[in-house]
Amino acid sequence: MSTTQHAPIRSPQDPRFAAHSPSSSSSSASSSQPDVIVVGSGIVGSALAYGLGRSGRNVALVERDFDEPDRIVGELLQPGGVRALGLLGLADTLDGIDAVAVEGYQVFYGDRSVPIPYPDQKAEESDLGVSSSSGRVEGRSFHHGKFVQSLRSRALAQPNVTAYEATVRDLIHDPKQPGKVAGITATWKAPPAAAAAAAADTRDSPGSFELRAPLTIVVDGCFSKFRRTHGSSIAPTVRSNFVGLELEDAPLPAPHHGHVVLGKAGPVLLYQIGSHSTRILIDVQGEKLPSAAKGELQAHIRDKVIPQLPEQLRECVLKELDKGQRLRSMPNSFLPPSMQGQSDSAQGVVVVGDAMNMRHPLTGGGMSVGLWDAVHLTSLLSGGEWTPSPARTPARPVDLSDWSALRPALRQWHWYRKNLSSVINILAQALYSLFGADDANLEVLREGCFKYFELGGECVNGPVSLLSGLAPQPLLLVGHFFAVALYSIYTLFTHPRLDARSGKVARPSLLAWPGLVWRSIMVFYTACIVILPVIATELKSNIPSLPGVGGAKAAVGTRGKAKMVDGTEVGGSMLMSYATVVVTLAAVVLLYTRGGGASVLGSAGSSASSSGGASGVVGGGALRMFGSGGRKSFSL
């Protein structure tokens, strides 16, 4: 059945975007064929459409519903993401939405807590995009929908961006080149008069139309219907769900900080999303939630979650629960990245954002990864009129219709994004394994991680620089992770603990050491199986044609069906082939030799000594291992 050709979705003066209504010249862009079709106008899609439009590309932005979305995730933007907004010229999208400055984190574990502030702002980093009143680099937290609408309004204010409020039904393939995507077919949410008249002339359904462009960028989010287009054989997996409530005037222990509460029921996050609003996200393990209709979910929160919260917050959360506020949930998915644009069977299409790569939202790094993707892609695919990164922009604009020219650019994008995305992906999955699992060995690592933070200095500055997206250094991440593992083992032997027999709190006696040696081996083994499989997924993603690693061979012939849990196939073996082990060990050796890793086993450092000598063997050496600062800004 034939379909009507594209027409603008609506009047440019849409009241939903009155703050940034497009200029009158935007209507002229709709009369020519677009250079790029962007499917999805969420955070990444809107930012990418704005950047490409500003660079001189003619962009068609297709979104199912331009009304303000109402979601419980995508509400805390790390400082690295704020910097990406600044480079795109979108820092002002954080204005006027009641966004709250975020200065770091406060971590709670039982009756103890430790502050994890963001690093001090350096002079050369004063252009992060938003002002800082704390003297530190800052993130921002907000209502997700308000931020999305602010980004959309800026995108639609670009003369080269034309919006279409429609649902994309399918991708159009070039009949002369079956593997090449030539555009989309879509159905209007509410057909404009011009489209309805054209459809009446051809006796077609007035709701159907098509758009054609040399390049289609799919940014349709975590529930993407076009994810398999780019050839990934891995389907997203869900280990847990976040259940959210919105608290009113909650008495937070550390305002302007994200709060992470560690407990046996799983981690709980709290952060402000407005002057009077606070979001609480409760991690509930398992792919399927307890029934809210039967009161099972409410009972879980009341009996297992609220008692582990800081005392001043318990009444506030219980009040909202008793009021019957709707419990909203989102799955916490994991999807390893895949190199885009290298397959001849999927030309003309690129998958970006959560449709291509997801990680557990515990660390709040997803938006930062997506916005940096928008920076890199805008630079590499620039139309020549503007770029956020001149150093990474080709001398001549890439011909989007020439796949042989586009393929190297997409390969460059993969490597430009690799450092940041791999750090955020590995950190998120590893931390959730430490904080969310109920296992004796993981409990030792969790306790060691908390005590590592208590050392302060670089034991806080390094990890938070990774978390904030300001230190895209995978080796730094691996180093800190194994420093935590070694410090956890050290605390087994040296820190006082409750003796099950005597009931007294004391350091382990020499008689207990043989058992602790075995426990130490198991703790280190557990640390390895937490992080190495996730590293394996990052290594494997570099070469799309790489045969399945370990048990992944079962995925052959079942495209889109194989499932992974942090790099582990369901029912399969760990993704740790000989090649993976060799590469990983090489990375550790490189870190060891370059960073002075031998000092990990040296004497206590000054910072550790000041904390009562607790760090002894590991803590002080770890400080020297990573040097001072431990943070390297993005070089663009």
Span 434-483, pLDDT tens digits: 998 788 999 999 999 999 999 999 999 999 999 999 999 999 999 999 99
Count of domains forming the chain? 3
Pick from 333, 359, 393: which residue ends a domain?
A: 333
What's the pLDDT score for residue 128? 53
pTM of the model: 0.84
Residue 4: name the closest of 166, 146, 150, 144 by CA: 166
547 and 502 within one domain: yes
Q: What is the pLDDT of residues 293-307, one digit of tens each?
A: 999 999 999 999 999
- Mean residue pLDDT across the chain: 82
* Both tokens assigned to 449: 């991680």
Q: List, in sequence order, every residue forming a beta bridge with 210; answer none if it has no partner.
A: 5, 185
The CATH number that applies at residue 217 is 3.50.50.60
Question: Are 413 and 444 within one domain?
Answer: no
**Are 321 and 349 members of one domain?**
no
Residues 267, 356 within the same domain:
no
Report residue 485 as tokens.
């593992």
- Is the same domain home to 196 and 317? no
632 inside domain: no
Question: How much is the pLDDT for 510?
Answer: 80
466 and 548 share a domain? yes
At which of 369, 386, 417 does a domain end?
A: 417
Among 32-41, 174-183, 485-494, 534-543, the minimum mean pLDDT is found in 534-543
- C-beta of residue 98 within 8 angstroms of C-beta of residue 140: no
For 122, other C-beta atoms within 10 Å of its C-beta total 12
Rounded CA-CA distance 101/139 in Å is 6
Q: How far apart are CA 18 and CA 456, in angstroms?
A: 47
Q: Is residue 125 part of a domain?
A: no
Adjacent-strand bridge partners of 563: 235
Say yes or no: 328 and 356 in one domain.
no
Burial 506-532 (b: 16+ CB within 10 A, else e): eebeeeeeeeeeebbeebbebbbebbb
431 within domain boundaries: no
> Is residue 114, in this structure, part of any structural domain at all?
no
Same domain, 362 and 508: no
Tokens of 72: 């419980």
d(CA 124, CA 456): 24
Domain-embedded: residue 613:
yes
Q: With contact defined as beta carbons under 8 Å apart, do 479 and 595 qualify?
A: yes
Domain residue limits at 560: 439-626
Query: What digits encode the pLDDT tens for the residues 232-274?
Result: 667 899 999 999 999 999 999 999 999 999 998 999 999 999 9
More confident residue, 395 or 520: 520
Residues 315 and 348 in one domain: no
Residue 110 falls within a domain, yes or no? no
Average pLDDT over residues 202-219: 83
Task: Report if residue 131 sits inside a domain.
Answer: no
Indicate the residue type of 404: S
Q: Pick from 210, 214, 213: which is nearest to 186 by CA? A: 210
Q: Strand 497-498 vs strand 505-506: parallel, antiparallel, or unpaired? A: antiparallel
Q: How far is CA 273 from CA 67, 102, 122, 453, 547, in A?
A: 20, 10, 27, 26, 44
Longest CA span, the chain:
91
Please give the single-letter amino acid code of residue 458: E
Instruction: Give the domain-ending residue among 317, 333, 349.
Output: 333
Question: Could you give the CA distance from residue 46 to residue 63 in angstroms, rounded to a whole number?
Answer: 10
Please indicate, yes or no, whether residues 269 and 348 belong to a single structural domain of this protein: no
What CA–CA distance (Å, rounded) separates 73 from 367?
Answer: 10
pLDDT above 90: residue 224: yes
Q: Are residues 399 and 498 in the same domain?
A: no
Q: Is there a single domain that holds both residue 31 and residue 3?
A: yes
How far is Cα 360 from Cα 364, in angstroms, rounded to an integer? 8
- The answer to whether 14 and 68 have CB atoms below 8 angstroms apart is no
Q: Is residue 634 included in any domain, yes or no?
A: no
